[in-house]
C-alpha cells in the first residue's frame, strides 16, 4: 500500500466519522464532497511537475483513483469544519446556476494561471498553486462582498490546514521519506512541519472557501 492510499484511508475514516457523528449535516457534507470532486481532473497537470506518487490503477494514468478519493473526502470534511463555525442547517436547495458559475470561474482562473505560469519563477507558481490562487481569488471576492459574516472563515482554514499537516506527518510514521519521494520539492516552496507549503496553502484556502460557499450556492430553508 502506498503512502497516498494510506492518506486516503485517513481522510475516509474522518469523513465517515463526521457523517455519523453529525447526521443533521449529512446533505451538506455530501454537497461539499461532490463539489470538489470535479477538480480531480487537474491531477493530469499536477503530474509530474508538482508530484509523482505511485498509483493503484496504472491503466487510468494520469488520472488517479487516489486523487478522486481525496477530493471527495476533503471536500466533505472541509465543509463540515466550516459548518462548526457557520452552523448552516441541513435543509437546503442547490442553486445549480450559481454552482455551475462557480465551477466555470474556478476552472477558468486555473486555465489562466496554467497558461501564463511559465512567465513566473517555478518556485512561485506551481501546478498546485494555480489552483490555490484560483480558490484564493474567489474566496477573497466573496469575503469583500460580505466581510462582516464571512471573516471567520479563517478559522476553518486554520483547522483544515492543521488537519492536513497532522495527516501527512502521521503517514510519515510509516513512510518516512514519502514527502521527498512523491513531491517535486526542488521546484516547490520550502516544507513546513515536513509538509509541502503548497499543500498547507491548499488546505487553508479550501477550508476557508468551502466554509462560505454554502451561503453563496445554497438556498437554506428556515
The parts of the chain modelled with pLDDT lower than 70 are 1, 58-62, 117-125, 222
What is the share, in percent, of the chain residues with pLDDT greater than 70?
92
d(CA 208, CA 79): 9
pLDDT digits (tens, 9 = 90+) for 142-192: 999 888 788 899 999 999 999 999 999 999 999 999 999 999 888 888 899
According to the model, what pLDDT value does residue 126 have? 75
Taking alpha carbons only, the member of 156, 161, 160 closest to residue 83 is 156
The answer to pTM > 0.85 is yes
d(CA 94, CA 71): 20
CB 124 within 8 A of CB 140: no
CB 161 within 8 A of CB 207: yes
d(CA 141, CA 105): 12
| Alpha carbon 153 to chain centroid, angstroms | 15
According to the model, what pLDDT value does residue 120 have? 54
Amino acid at each position: 500500500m502506498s503512502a497516498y492510499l494510506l492518506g486516503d484511508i485517513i481522510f475516509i475514516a474522518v469523513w465517515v466519522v463526521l457523517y455519523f457523528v453529525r447526521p443533521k449535516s449529512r446533505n451538506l457534507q455530501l454537497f461539499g464532497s461532490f463539489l470538489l470532486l470535479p477538480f480531480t481532473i487537474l491531477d493530469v497537470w499536477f503530474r509530474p511537475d508538482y508530484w509523482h506518487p505511485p498509483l493503484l490503477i496504472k491503466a487510468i494514468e494520469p488520472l488517479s483513483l487516489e486523487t478522486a478519493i481525496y477530493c471527495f473526502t476533503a471536500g466533505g470534511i472541509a465543509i463540515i469544519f466550516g459548518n462548526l463555525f457557520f452552523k448552516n442547517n441541513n435543509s437546503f436547495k442547490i442553486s445549480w446556476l450559481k454552482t455551475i458559475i462557480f465551477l466555470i470561474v474556478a476552472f477558468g482562473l486555473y486555465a489562466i494561471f496554467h497558461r501564463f505560469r511559465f512567465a513566473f519563477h517555478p518556485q512561485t507558481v506551481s501546478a498546485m498553486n494555480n489552483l490555490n490562487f484560483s480558490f484564493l481569488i474567489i474566496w477573497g471576492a466573496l469575503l469583500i462582498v460580505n466581510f462582516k459574516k464571512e471573516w471567520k472563515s479563517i478559522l476553518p482554514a486554520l483547522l483544515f490546514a492543521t488537519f492536513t499537516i497532522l495527516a501527512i506527518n502521521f503517514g510519515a510514521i510509516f513512510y518516512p521519506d514519502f514527502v521527498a519521494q512523491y513531491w517535486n520539492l526542488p521546484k516547490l516552496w520550502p516544507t513546513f512541519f515536513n509538509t509541502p507549503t503548497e499543500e498547507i496553502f491548499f488546505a487553508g484556502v479550501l477550508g476557508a472557501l468551502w466554509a462560505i460557499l454554502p451561503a453563496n450556492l445554497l438556498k437554506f430553508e428556515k
